[in-house]
């Protein structure tokens, strides 16, 4: 067995010697002999874009997090439904469907199991199955997917109390969102 180790060692050492000698062929590069000419050019003007940015629309479970001018996310919990429900703020009351709250230039429309967040021409929907709670200055929602759930807790950026009022126009809006090919 020792004989095989000696032969393998000789092969490795021989390969290293051959590799080291082969790498040194040719003269070394002298960096001092290269002349660099030219100077950096000033920035070139670019024509302004002719494309107008499109409104942001689509399904987004993080929709309220995308509006720092209106809401600030306090916490987030993820796990089994029972664990997540235990993380709800104390004295939270579940919101009924078809209510609306306006916070600055943002509008939050809560449906039976989803929500629509609007700001100007931007429309982001919090997809089903989401249930919403309010606890004084806090808005919380739990979105379930199978046996797992995610809780997000927010407060208004101005720390004012959240007020939700009934909104009869939501039923028609929600029906339009489900039947139209355009995502709401």
pLDDT for res 24: 61
CA distances, 39 to each of 36, 42 (Å): 9, 9
pLDDT for res 49: 72
17 with 9: CB under 8 angstroms? no
Nearest Cα neighbor of 174 from 122, 100, 115 is 115
User: Whole-prediction pTM value?
Assistant: 0.62
Nearest Cα neighbor of 152 from 49, 69, 67 is 67
Q: What is the largest CA-CA distance in the chain?
A: 91
Least confident among 19-23, 64-68, 133-137: 19-23
Instruction: Quote the CA–CA distance of 52 and 166 in Å, as a whole number.
Output: 35
122 with 110: CB under 8 angstroms? no
Decide if pLDDT at 180 tops 50.
Answer: no
pLDDT for res 21: 73
């Amino acid at each position: 067995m020792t004989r095989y180790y000696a032969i393998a060692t000789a092969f490795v050492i021989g390969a290293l010697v051959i590799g080291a000698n082969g790498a040194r062929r040719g003269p070394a590069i002298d960096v001092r002999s290269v002349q660099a000419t030219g100077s950096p050019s000033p920035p070139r003007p670019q024509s302004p874009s002719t494309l107008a940015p499109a409104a942001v629309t689509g399904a987004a479970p993080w929709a309220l997090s995308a509006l720092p001018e209106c809401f600030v996310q306090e916490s987030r919990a993820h796990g089994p439904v029972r664990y997540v429900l235990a993380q709800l703020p104390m004295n939270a009351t579940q919101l009924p469907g078809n209510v609306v709250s306006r916070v600055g230039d943002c509008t939050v429309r809560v449906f039976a199991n989803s929500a629509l967040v609007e700001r100007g021409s931007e429309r982001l929907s919090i997809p089903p199955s989401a249930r919403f709670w309010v606890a004084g200055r806090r808005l919380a929602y739990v979105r379930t997917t199978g046996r797992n759930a995610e809780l997000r807790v927010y407060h208004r950026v101005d720390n004012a109390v959240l007020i939700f009022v009934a909104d009869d126009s939501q039923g028609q809006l929600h029906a339009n969102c489900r039947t139209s090919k355009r995502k709401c």
